[in-house]
Amino acid sequence: MASEQVAFITGGNKGIGLETARQLGKQGIKVVIGSRDKERGAAAVQKLKSDGVDAAFIKFDVTDAADYQAAYDYFDNHYGKLDILINNAGISLDDFMGGNKTSSTAADSLRKTFDTNFFAVVAITQALLPLLRKAPAGRIVNLSSILGSNTLHATPGSPIYEAKAFGYDASKAALNSFTIHLAHELKGTKIKVNSAHPGWVKTDMGTDAAPMELPDGARTSVRLATLPDDGPTGGYFHMNDALPW
């Protein structure tokens, strides 16, 4: 079994996930990206390899439970462990520019959003946790958002007070709760669990209106994925700054 560090990044074939893979790879970490589409996954790996990154991909759909066991088997057979899990895949079905439409948010939209942004993250993390326990210092990074901060949503004048996209916001608040609870369970181990707010980044979801470029958008995930032994756990961060829950 390889002794090198290996990272798994869900939704890693584009955007923040792909840039996170590039930056981790530049640190000598083997990166495996999960992609729903095999062709896009293969294309992403070629981009990474052309940049000198040791990369691979597996077909992985966060909403397909069969892929969880396949992912476990892949890392168990190839490495016997998993050092870093970055739960990067996420969706939004809300209209971010349409104002507060909480009272008319469709139940189906809520379910689909939570299936990807919350339930799938819990499930894949639980499935891969035995391999993270085998790593010398496991790291779990949950891609949240500042929009998951209930404190800021409830504070008039905060940067997000008027930005109410109920389905997305609630799913990220639930994800933050998972971070807190899992970190508490694992506090006696070498595994660290943290939530990351990447910032408003130029991606398919963030659009070209976003002020941040991809390299900066990946920095929080990379920092939390490579924390030293005395680094934080059970936290909620953007870059080096802690965010209020």
Residues designated as active site: 168
Which SS3 state, helix, strand or coil, does residue 154 take?
coil
Distance of CA 72 to the CA centre of its chain: 18
d(CA 8, CA 31): 6
d(CA 64, CA 109): 18
Q: Are 48 and 126 in contact (CB under 8 A)?
A: no
The stretches of the chain forming alpha helices (DSSP H) are 15-25, 38-50, 65-78, 107-114, 120-133, 150-153, 166-185, 214-217, 219-225
Amino acid at site 39:
E
**Could you tell me the two tokens for 210?**
């976003």
